[in-house]
A and B are shown apart, each in its own frame.
Chain A
Amino acid sequence: MKQLIWALVLMGMVMAVGAGAGEDVRQNMLEARYGQLECRAAFLNEVMDNAEYFNPDANFDTEREELEDEMSALGEYVENGDWESINEEITDTREIFVNALNKARDAHREALDEVNDSAERTALISEMYEKHDVAAEHFRECSATSLRERIVAELESFEGWLEKGHETAERMEENDYDVSGLESILAEGEELADSLRNLDEDTEADDLAELRREIWSREFYLWAEFHVERFNLILDRVDERTEGEYSSEIEGIRETLKSALEIGEDEEYGVSEAAQARRTINTAALELRDLLDKIGVE
């Protein structure tokens, strides 16, 4: 009896650690994302400094305060692991960035308008762009670093779903499912993960961002494909064991699953497409649950 209790306690601890590890991965992703936002805030502050340098009459106290409050709020959400609030707040932050940049641009232009001499104007414009380019370069360096950190954090999440995928495939294989389709999908996922692991150190921020976007787009589609394949395997088994008595219902669920892979025009999914795919697969899962209840499976 004591052994059973200890086994249960140990199992609970393992599950808690497992759940904690998942939360750590999400937290790392959040912190890396915040790091990128800090790069943007630093760039914006530098641009406002430049605007005030060229146009002493310009005043950005309000914008600086707004930016500080915004970053502070975001920082708290990150600390609390609050994904939803961060996503909502990002929209407000974007507006602050755009407004401040526009005001900085206007302050530069006002400064130029004060200069009538053509040669002086040309020199001033050149100086303005030079200082701006310095700020932009600082941003690119900061952004490349923070983006790499974000990719590392996301890779953990990526590897997590691949690992879970392999466990699922293994378990299904032990129950005599043909998991070759699942393994093929996971193999491509592993290749994508490898390309993220082996990024060239000299890759610049824009190229990093593009590569990341491409890989995630394909990964989202693979994720959907994996779960569609998984549910189709279960449907095959149900169909076989019920000797075709529920073929019509099963076919209906297959159609739902199929539609999850036909969102958009290609086999790469953006954020909204991936979310729609998940909702569709979830609908199919609920339909399957209803069918199993109808059959009397417990």
Chain B
Amino acid sequence: MRAEIALLGLAILSFALFGCSSVDKELGTPSPSSKSPSIIATKAVSQLSMSELGITEEDLSVPELDIDMSDDDFSTDIII
């Protein structure tokens, strides 16, 4: 009985350890491990990079607008 319990404990421990390494290896792809889904999602999100989003720092900026509409009305009328 004690041997069975020890074996069971060892199996659980091995299973838990195996689960950690599978998530480490497969980013963003939760493995059927003992980790809860929210922890898996958080770990996947924290792996996100700009290149994974397909953007650069420049994409987060807004270029200047060359605004020069100084077509202030200039009237040539002169009422004599």
- A119 CB-CB contact with B under 8 Å: no
- B52 CB-CB contact with A under 8 Å: yes
How close is B70's CB to chain A, nearest CB, in angstroms? 6
A132 to B80, CA, bound (A): 10
Whether the pair B71, A245 counts as a contact (CB closer than 8 A) is no
Convert B54-74 into 0s and 1s, putting 1 for each residue whose CB lies closer than 8 angstroms to a CB of A: 110001111111111111101
- B16 CB-CB contact with A under 8 Å: no
How close is B40's CB to chain A, nearest CB, in angstroms? 10
Whether the pair B60, A289 counts as a contact (CB closer than 8 A) is yes
Most buried by A among B61, B63, B72: B63
Q: How large is the interface on A (under 10, 10 to 19, 20 to 34, 35 or more residues)?
A: 35 or more
Whether the pair A139, B76 counts as a contact (CB closer than 8 A) is yes
Q: Which of B20-73 contact A (CB under 8 A)?
A: 41, 44-46, 48-50, 52-55, 59-72
Determine the residue in chain B with the shortest Cβ distance to A128.
B80
Determine the residue in chain A with the shortest Cβ distance to B66.
A157
Provide the residues of chain A in CB contact with B80, threshold 8 Å. Answer: 105, 108-109, 112, 125, 128-129, 132
Provide the residues of chain B in CB contact with A132, threshold 8 Å. Answer: 78, 80
Whether the pair A241, B45 counts as a contact (CB closer than 8 A) is yes
- SS of B interface (majority): loop
A297 to B66, CA, bound (A): 32
How close is A22's CB to chain B, nearest CB, in angstroms? 9
Convert A274-298 into 0s and 1s, putting 1 for each residue whose CB lies closer than 8 angstroms to a CB of B: 1100100110010011001001111
Known: A108-B80, A298-B50. A285 touches B62 (CB 8 A): yes
Determine the residue in chain B with the shortest Cβ distance to A129.
B80
Known: A105-B80, A129-B80. A234 touches B65 (CB 8 A): no
Binds B, one of A11-19, A56-64, A185-193, A209-217: A209-217
Determine the residue in chain B with the shortest Cβ distance to A175.
B54
Whether the pair B48, A288 counts as a contact (CB closer than 8 A) is no
How close is B80's CB to chain A, nearest CB, in angstroms? 5
- B5 CB-CB contact with A under 8 Å: no
Instruction: Name the contact of B68 in the complex, choosing from A33, A125, A285 (C-beta under 8 A).
Output: A33
- A81 CB-CB contact with B under 8 Å: no
- B79 CB-CB contact with A under 8 Å: yes
Interface residues of A (CB under 8 A from B): 25-26, 29-30, 33, 40, 43, 47, 83, 87, 90, 94, 97, 101, 104-105, 108-109, 112, 125, 128-129, 132, 135-136, 139-140, 154, 157, 161, 164, 168, 172, 174-177, 209, 212-213, 216, 220, 223, 227, 230, 234, 237-238, 241-243, 245, 270-271, 274-275, 278, 281-282, 285, 288-289, 292, 295-298
Question: Can you name 9 A-B residue pairings with CB atoms under 8 Å?
Answer: A25-B66, A33-B68, A109-B80, A128-B80, A243-B45, A278-B64, A281-B62, A295-B45, A295-B46
Among all A-B residue pairs, the 9 with the closest Cβ atoms: A175-B54, A136-B76, A296-B46, A271-B69, A108-B80, A282-B62, A157-B66, A297-B48, A105-B78
